[in-house]
Copies of this chain bind each other. A is one copy, B any other.
Amino acid sequence: MAGNTFGTLFRLTTFGESHGPAIGGVIDGMPAGVKVELDYIQYELDRRKPGQSAITTSRKESDRLIILSGVLDQQTLGTPIGFMLHNEDQQSEDYDQLKDVYRPGHADEVWEKKFGIRDHRGGGRSSARETAARVAGGAFAKVLLAKSGVSVNAYVHSVGKIEVPSSYDELDLAATEESMVRCPHSPTSERMIAAIESARDEGDSLGGTIICVCKGLPAGLGEPVFDKLHAVLAHAVLSINATQGFELLHGFDSTKTKGSENNLRNTGVSGGISTGDDLVFRVAFKPVSTIRKKQMARTTSGENVELEAAGRHDPCVLPRAVPIVEAMAALVLADMQLLHKR
């Protein structure tokens, strides 16, 4: 298995299965002498953790960050930052029914084909639990970016067919955290919550999109040919479970305009390099595959069976995905900043 490291100069390497002893990671490339409030890192982890609200899974993980190295007296040493979070509340028995069944929409079957072995307890390494390590890494990246005035804020733009009717710059992004669904447009937020509750009650799930707004970027980030800024951002966020698409602001819509119109627009990136204006992108998440409703599934011996998932699952991942999208964007921007500085 490769692909457990992300970045060139600001690098995050992660490890951990959902039902093993712990998950964690190593951040390499964080400069020395940066003040880091560990409470802030924990705060970001808490934004992602399960059980945080009525519309997320009722699983409980304290997701308590343990720093193993690289930080002394809340200051970075310039050395790799090792960290871990113990896995808790593992109701592995919930997964017993899955030992011989591949969950529809999940990586169970391909994982077994690829590795010849599969940890059936909650997806193992393919579980979304893996993203906690990304959030921790991204939080350090955010601390670094904040030093040069760069901020990264995401919010839920749509859930199912319900979407925010305003443009990102008409919203008060500070209001995002006040919404259980992390949508800063209050009336839309309420409609989204109702829709998620209704899907949950049906034993079904919903997808949606997240918009991420990066402000304060200097002009010049991004490496012009293969590592264009938006290309690497897409790589980063599409590596999050359940993602299906990425576009810059106006992305797919811009294909329907003429050059004379579209040239007036601004997406914060030109030729793959940041322009210094807001950089905004949108990410598509499919509805969660694990649903309580009965569905057909394939067994490891190739038979079709009806599956009614036990376990405690999110009816909609969007609210908890907001900090993950921010984390992945922050990792890219911190890396690009270091690459640009040379």
Given the known interface contacts A15-B69, A16-B82, A238-B234, the answer about A4 and B207 at a Cβ–Cβ threshold of 8 Å is no
Closest chain B residue to A226, Cβ basis? B6
Q: Which of chain B's residues have a CB closer than 8 A to the CB of A228?
A: 3, 238-239
CA distance A15 to B68 in the complex (A): 8
Q: Which of chain B's residues have a CB closer than 8 A to the CB of A285?
A: 255
Q: Which of chain B's residues have a CB closer than 8 A to the CB of A238?
A: 228, 230-231, 234, 246
Shortest A201–chain B CB gap in Å is 12
Copies per assembly? 4
Q: Mark A246-280, 1 if CB is under 8 A from B, else 0.
A: 11101110111111101100010011111110000
CA distance A219 to B111 in the complex (A): 9
Q: Mark A206-237, 1 if CB is under 8 A from B, else 0.
A: 11110000000001100111111011101110
Q: Does A67 contact B (CB under 8 A)?
A: yes
CA distance A289 to B115 in the complex (A): 45
CB of B273 within 8 A of CB of A107, answer: yes
Given the known interface contacts A3-B226, A77-B119, A125-B77, the answer about A204 and B258 at a Cβ–Cβ threshold of 8 Å is yes
Which of B15, B79, B161 meets A80, CB within 8 Å? B15
The 3 closest A-B pairs by CB, nearest first: A107-B271, A3-B223, A245-B247
Which residues of A line the B interface, CB within 8 A?
1-6, 8-9, 11, 13-17, 20-26, 28-29, 31-33, 66-70, 72, 75, 77-82, 84, 104-107, 109-111, 113-117, 119, 124-126, 130, 158, 160-161, 199, 204-209, 219-220, 223-228, 230-232, 234-236, 238-239, 241, 243-248, 250-252, 254-260, 262-263, 267, 270-276, 284-291, 293, 295, 338-342
